[in-house]
Amino acid sequence: MCLVTNGSLLTKELTEKILTSSNKTDKLIHINFSLDSNSSKSFKEIKKVDLFEKTVNNIKYFIKRREELGLLFPKISISFIVLKENFHEVKSFVSFWQSQFPSKIESAPEGVPWGVKDVLIFKQGFTLLKKDNEEQAELYNKVISSYKKEDSSSPQANSFCPAPFRFPIITAWGDVYPCCMASQGDIVLGNIKKTPFPEIWNGPKYKALRKAHIKGNLKAFPTCEICPTQHYLPAISDDERIFWEKTLK
C-alpha cells in the first residue's frame, strides 16, 4: 500500500504506528509527503494554512525514526508541484531535504515507480506551462535531469490498474474509494466510520475490484473501463502481482 499525505497530522504516535505495523496485506511500501514549498510564506500562500514548521518537523521525525528502526520500508518521497509561488525555492528545497536523508536522494519527475527508493518528486504546475514562465520550466528540467531511470526499474506499461492494490482514498466523511478518479461515488468500497479499514481493504468489494482488474474484465466497473489514469500510475512490481494473485484465489 502507498500513502499520500500532507503530513500535517502525522504525530509521533502515528509515526510509530505506521512504522511498526506491518501485516501481510496492508504493509506500507511508500509514503509521499505533498509539501510543495520550502518556507512558511509559500506554504501558506499555496495551502492556505500556517503549518509549514509543524509539517516539516513531522516529516523529519518520520525519516529519523525509520532510520533508527532500521527499516527499508516505507520508501519516502517528498513532492513539490512547481508553481509561480514557489519556484524560487526549488534549489533550497532540494538541498534541505537531501541533508535530511542518510544517503543522497535524487530529484525525479512525477510518475517514478513507488516503493523502490526515497526520492524528491517534482511536477510542473500549470502556471509553468505559460510562455512567460520559461525560466521556471528550465529550472524544473534542470532539477530532474539528473534522475537515473536505469536503476529504478523504470515505469512499464500497466497491464492493469495499480490503484485498487495501492491507493485507497478515504474522504473526510469516511468513504473509501480505490482512487480519486472513482471518488465521484460509483465505486464506494466501504466507510471507516462503520467498518474498520483493514476489513474494508481485505473485504469482498475490494477483492471483486482487484479480481476484475487482474482478469481484465471491468464490465462491473464502468468508471474503470474508460479511465485513462490507470495507464500512467506507477505499475505494481512482479512480487506484488504474485502476492495479490494468491490472495484472490
Q: In the complex with ligand SF4, which residue's Cβ is closer, 35 or 163?
A: 163
Q: In the complex with ligand SF4, which residue's Cβ is closer, 75 or 210?
A: 210
CB of 230 vs ligand SF4, minimal distance in Å:
4
Is 230 among the residues that bind ligand SF4 (CB under 6 A)?
Answer: yes
Q: CA 59, CA 50: separation in Å to the nearest integer? A: 16
For 183, the 3-state DSSP assignment is coil
Is 82 among the residues that bind ligand SF4 (CB under 6 A)?
Answer: no
Selected binder of ligand SF4 within 60, 223, 240, 243 (CB under 6 A): 223
Q: CA 215, CA 218: separation in Å to the nearest integer? A: 8
Is 235 among the residues that bind ligand SF4 (CB under 6 A)?
Answer: no
75-82/106-109 β-pairing: unpaired
Is 2 among the residues that bind ligand SF4 (CB under 6 A)?
Answer: no
Binding track, positions 123-162, relative to ligand SF4; x by CB under 6 A: --------------------------------------x-
**Is residue 197 classed exposed, middle or buried when 0-12, 13-18 and 19+ CB atoms within 10 A define those classes?**
middle
Is 164 among the residues that bind ligand SF4 (CB under 6 A)?
Answer: yes
In 3D space, the residue among 103, 104, 144 whose CA is nearest the CA of residue 124 turns out to be: 144
Is 227 among the residues that bind ligand SF4 (CB under 6 A)?
Answer: yes
Looking at residue 150, the DSSP 8-state letter turns out to be G
Is 229 among the residues that bind ligand SF4 (CB under 6 A)?
Answer: yes
Q: Are the C-beta atoms of residues 36 and 46 closer than 8 Å to each other?
A: yes
Q: Which of residues 177-216 bind ligand SF4 (CB under 6 A)?
A: 178-179, 181-182
Q: In the complex with ligand SF4, which residue's Cβ is closer, 107 or 230?
A: 230
Cβ partners under 8 Å of residue 120, min gap 6: 77, 78, 79, 80, 93, 94, 97, 98, 105, 106, 107, 108
Point out which residues bind ligand SF4 (CB under 6 A).
161, 163-164, 178-179, 181-182, 223-224, 227, 229-230
